[in-house]
C-alpha cells in the first residue's frame, strides 16, 4: 500500500521521515542537499488526553515541525498489511499524520511500507530490510547502527521523501 502526492519535481533541501508507534512517534529531519541528519526526536503521545485530543496534539505538532524546520517533502513509514497485532492507535496516528501532510505547505509527500521506501531509495527491499534490522551498515548515513530500529525506519522515510 502506498499513497503519493507531489506538486513539484525540484529536489528540495529538508525532508521529514516519520515512524509511528502507539505511544511515541519518531521523526527525523534530513537535509537532502547536505546529506546529513538535522534532528532525530520523538513525539510522546500524551496519555492523559482522550483520543481525539491526542490526535489533535500530534497533528499540530507535526505541522509545527514542518514549519520550524522548513520541511518541503515528507514520508511516513506505515504498518505492513500482513503485520499481526498492530494496535489500532498506530493506524489512527498514521492517518492523522497523513492528514497533516495534506493540510500543510509540503511540495510532496508519501506514505509507504518497506517495499515502497526501498524503491524511493533505489534499493532492493531485502537490502533495505537488512539495513533497518541493523544486520548491515547503511554507509551513506554516519552512525546508522547507533540509531534504534524505529529511528532507522524514520531516517529511511526521510531519505525516500527526497524522491516524493
Question: pLDDT 10s digit of each residue in the chain, 164 long?
Answer: 455 554 444 444 899 999 999 889 999 999 998 999 999 999 999 999 999 999 999 999 999 999 999 999 999 999 887 767 778 889 999 999 999 999 999 999 999 999 999 999 999 999 999 999 999 999 999 999 999 999 999 999 999 999 88
Sketch the domain layout of the chain as residue ranges.
Answer: 2-161
For residue 89, the SS3 value is: helix
* Phi/psi at 130 (5° precision): -65, -40
Q: Which CATH number fits domain 2-161: 3.40.50.720, 3.60.20.10, 3.30.420.10, 2.60.40.10?
A: 3.30.420.10
Find all residues with CB under 8 Å of 104, minimum gap 6, and list them: 63, 66
Per-residue pLDDT, 86: 76
From the CA atom positions of the chain, what is the Rg in Å? 15
Amino acid at each position: 500500500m502506498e499513497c503519493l502526492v507531489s506538486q513539484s519535481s525540484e529536489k528540495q533541501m529538508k525532508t521529514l521521515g516519520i515512524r509511528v508507534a502507539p505511544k511515541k512517534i519518531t521523526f527525523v529531519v534530513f537535509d537532502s542537499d547536505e546529506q546529513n541528519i538535522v534532528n532525530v526526536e520523538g513525539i510522546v503521545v500524551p496519555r492523559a488526553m482522550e483520543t481525539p485530543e491526542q490526535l489533535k496534539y500530534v497533528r499540530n505538532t507535526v505541522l509545527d515541525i514542518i514549519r520550524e524546520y522548513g520541511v518541503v517533502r515528507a514520508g511516513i513509514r506505515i504498518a505492513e498489511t500482513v503485520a499481526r497485532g498492530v494496535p489500532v492507535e498506530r493506524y489512527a496516528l498514521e492517518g492523522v499524520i497523513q492528514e497533516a501532510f495534506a493540510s500543510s505547505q509540503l511540495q510532496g509527500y508519501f506514505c509507504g511500507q518497506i517495499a515502497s521506501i526501498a524503491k524511493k531509495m533505489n534499493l532492493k527491499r531485502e537490502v533495505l530490510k537488512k539495513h533497518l534490522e541493523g544486520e548491515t551498515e547503511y554507509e551513506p548515513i554516519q552512525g546508522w547502527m547507533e540509531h534504534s530500529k524505529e529511528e532507522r525506519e524514520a531516517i529511511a522515510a526521510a531519505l525516500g521523501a527526497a524522491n516524493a
